[in-house]
A = this chain, B = another copy of it.
Amino acid sequence: MTTDDLSRVFAALADPTRRDMVARLSEGDATVSRLAEPYRMTLQAVYKHLRVLEDAGLVSRPPGPQPRPVHLEARAFDLMDTWIERHRRRAEERYRRLDAVLAQMEEDEHGQDQGDRHRGRPEGAGHRDDP
């Protein structure tokens, strides 16, 4: 089911430790050992967290000489941002247009599936994250 990009980003940020790492990296790149300092955790665990952030595209580590610094990829925020904004906007717009709400209520009460609002949904397979 190759978890999609969005899922990876959200999941990555669902962990407080990882969020803290991102927060600190937003103030500047850092070596892993330096990054790991605050946490009561094995170094390997920190590397694991970094892998998750890396797989989500939130962080990069340029190849090369040994102490390779961790770098925040701020562009990775865009994915979430656009998703969130899209739906926030949809919801707010709907909230403003009262008529739409009323139409919805009528449709629901009459049970007539004549309304073309929620028709032809894919029924099971593909979701509709980013149409």
Contact = CB atoms under 8 A, between A and B. Distances in A.
Interface residues of A, number: 55
Contacts of A118: 24, 27-28, 34, 37-38
B7 A10 contact: no
Copies of this protein, total? 2
A22 B124 contact: no
Contacts of A80: 80, 84
Contacts of A91: 25-26, 72, 74
Interface of A: 3-4, 6-7, 10-11, 13-17, 19-20, 22-29, 31, 34, 37-40, 72, 74, 77, 80-81, 83-84, 86-88, 90-92, 94-95, 100-101, 104, 108, 117-118, 121-124, 127-129
